Structures are given as structure tokens and as C-alpha cells.
Amino acid sequence: MKKNNTYLTDDEIDLNDLIKVLWREKILILSISIVCGLIGYLFASFKDKEFKTEITIKNPPIELFETYYFPPFNNNNNNNNNNKVAEQFINNFKLNFLSLDNLQSFVEESKEFDNFKEYLKSRNISAKKYFVNKINQVKEKNLIIPNKFFLVFSKELDGDIFFNDYAEFIKKKTIVEIKKNLKLSIENKIIIFENALLNAKLINLENPILRSTNQQIQVVNDPEALFYKGSKILSQEIIHLKKLFLKLENEQFNFEMIVDKPFNSPVEATSNFIYVAAGLIFGLFLSLGIVFFKNTLKNN
């Protein structure tokens, strides 16, 4: 029992000694912490200031694609398929918008932003490298806000104009992709109808074959037996599809996409405080390390 009391007394003595050492070296601890805090402040002051701009994008109206997309043969839910095209446009736009390769291409193709291009050249970095972690979707309470994006940029870039022009650039790129997909869809359908037309002509079937379902009379419209439509209807549908393909060539799909214009604001209003706080914390640990090292040398 006596032995335990001795250990307890030694622990108390060690703790008291530690407090005395820290108190004795308080000037050193405070000095180093303050100096490191000042270094953090100076670093934040000389660090390039950055700004943030945000933009809100509007989904395209599904009616925009009604002319060019129709259900496959026996599917009558046309609106559902138009929705799918609109969803594909939105998904493609998002992927294109956040692509660093597209940002690189936009900067290279743009005839504006000379100051920014000179800045990149002076730093010997590409636009792709510059925009890493500087463009993404806006979040609130860790939840992504649909169709809202932000861009972080330095003073060498006119972020508002850049972000607005970039959104239009991506819109055009995405429209080109959607048009390409729709063209492939129409071309495939033309091939299918032309094959069905050949089969209809082989059996001399001009008029469609009808069938009764649920007290209704309908044209047989199965993909495997599409020739049952008859050569007259198939010929007209092929003509319609080819006209549709030609119309698609000149289609612009114009619609207003930007809801809220970009605006500037400091990226972090407390950025200086963060650097100062980090400097103070680093200085505190550094000073404590020095004090313990000095104390160890003294005891030895």
C-alpha cells in the first residue's frame, strides 16, 4: 500500500513539474505560436485570391424532341421516350460540363480570355490542370443541388463571362451528340422498314393485315412481322423517316438554358483566419516540442 502511495506521489510530482516547466517557458511558447500565426497570416495575404461563380441550368423541354423520337413499333408511350431523350441530354450535359478535357478545349478554341491564357503560360500549366477541383456541382448540407454548378477562379480570369460562355459551348456540344444519336436511331429504323418493304413486295402485300384485340381492330405491328403493314404504308413511312432525317440535319434545338446568370463572391471569407489558426496550432506544438527537448537535455 505504501508502495502505491509512492507511485502516486511521483506522478503528482511529475505533473507539477510539467506545469512549472510550461509556466516557466510561457514566453517562449507564446512567442513561437504568435510568430507562426503571423507567418500564416502573411502567407494568406500574399496567396493569390480566388473567387467563386455559380450558374443554374434549365432542363430542355421534352417537346423539343417530339418530332424526332417515336416509340419502337408496338410501344405507344411516346411521351415516355421523349422523356428518355431529355434525360439523356441532361446526363450528357452534366458529364460534358464537368469534363476537364472540355474545359481545355474551350480555352484553346476561345478567342477571348487572353490574360488568363498568358497567366497559364507564365505558370507553365494547362487549363486542364488549372481547373482540377475548381468546378463541380453545388452542394447544400452535403446534398447536391440539381443543375447548379460552381467555378473557382483567380483574378486573371473573368469568371462570370467565362462560365456563361462555357455553358453555351457545352450546350452546343451536347446537342451535336444528341443529334448524332437521333440520326443513328432514324437510320436504323429506315433499314428495318426497307427490309420489311422488300418482304411485303415479295408476297405482293400492298395493304396492311388487320387483327382484332380487345374489341379493337389494329394493324399488325410486330417487329418480326413488320411487312404485314403492307408495301403502301411501309413506303410512306420510309419517305417520312428520310424527310425527318433531312430536317434533323438543320435542327438547332434552340432553347434558353441558363436560368441564373453567374455571379462572383469570395471563395472563403474566413480563409485568412484558417491560415492564422493553422499557424498558431503549428507554433504551439513546435514550441512544446522545443520545451520538452530542452527539459530532457537539462535533466540528463
250-274 pLDDT per residue, tens: 888 888 888 776 665 655 534 567 7
pLDDT of amino acid 3? 47
Domains in the chain, number: 2
Give the lowest-confidence range in 45-49, 114-118, 188-192.
45-49
Confidence check: pLDDT of 248 > 80: yes
Q: Tell whether 278 and 131 lie within a shared domain.
A: no
Tell me which DSSP letter residue 59 carries: P
Interval 65-92: pLDDT, tens: 878 766 554 444 444 555 678 888 899 9
CA 100/CA 93 separation, integer angstroms: 13
Q: Tell whether 105 and 116 lie within a shared domain.
A: yes
Percent of the chain with pLDDT over 70: 79
Whether 32 is covered by a domain: the verdict is yes
Whether 219 is covered by a domain: the verdict is no
**Mean predicted confidence (pLDDT) in 174-180:** 93
pLDDT of amino acid 40? 80
Whether 68 is covered by a domain: the verdict is yes
Please provide the average confidence, as pLDDT, over all residues in the chain. 81
CA 19/CA 146 separation, integer angstroms: 55
Domain that holds residue 31: 19-48+271-287
Q: Tell whether 88 and 189 lie within a shared domain.
A: yes
pLDDT of amino acid 210? 63
Whether 102 is covered by a domain: the verdict is yes
Q: Tell whether 44 and 169 lie within a shared domain.
A: no
Interval 9-46: pLDDT, tens: 444 547 777 788 788 888 888 888 889 888 887 776 66
pLDDT of amino acid 167? 93
Q: Tell whether 110 and 177 lie within a shared domain.
A: yes
DSSP 254-288: ----EEE---EEES-TTHHHHHHHHHHHHHHHHHH
Three cell numbers written together for 286: 513546435
Contact between 183 and 248 (Cβ < 8 Å): yes
Give the lowest-confidence range in 17-21, 49-53, 106-110, 233-237.
17-21
Whether 265 is covered by a domain: the verdict is no
Which residues, in sequence order, are CB contacts of 147 under 8 Å at separation 6+? 56, 57, 58, 59, 90, 259
Q: Tell whether 28 and 106 lie within a shared domain.
A: no
Grid-cell match 435542327, residue found:
251
**Mean predicted confidence (pLDDT) in 273-282:** 83
Whether 126 is covered by a domain: the verdict is yes
**Mean predicted confidence (pLDDT) in 169-176:** 94
Whether 73 is covered by a domain: the verdict is yes
Q: Tell whether 39 and 60 lie within a shared domain.
A: no
Q: Tell whether 34 and 154 lie within a shared domain.
A: no
* N-to-C CA span, the chain: 31
**Mean predicted confidence (pLDDT) in 226-230:** 84
Q: Which residue, among 259, 111, 257, has the nearest Cα to 170 in the 3D structure? A: 257
For the chain, what is the total number of helices (H) and then of strands (E)?
9, 7
CATH of the domain at 139: 3.30.1890.10
Whether 293 is covered by a domain: the verdict is no
Q: Tell whether 145 and 248 lie within a shared domain.
A: yes
CA 55/CA 40 separation, integer angstroms: 33
Q: Tell whether 137 and 25 lie within a shared domain.
A: no
Q: Tell whether 93 and 148 lie within a shared domain.
A: yes
Percent of the chain with pLDDT over 90: 34
Q: Tell whether 30 and 147 lie within a shared domain.
A: no
**Mean predicted confidence (pLDDT) in 160-166:** 92
Look at the alpha carbons of 21, 23, 29, 33 in this order and tell me if their dihedral is positive or negative: positive
CA distances (Å), origin 243, targets 16, 64, 248, 289: 93, 18, 9, 81
Confidence check: pLDDT of 159 > 60: yes
CA 267/CA 284 separation, integer angstroms: 28
pLDDT of amino acid 263? 61
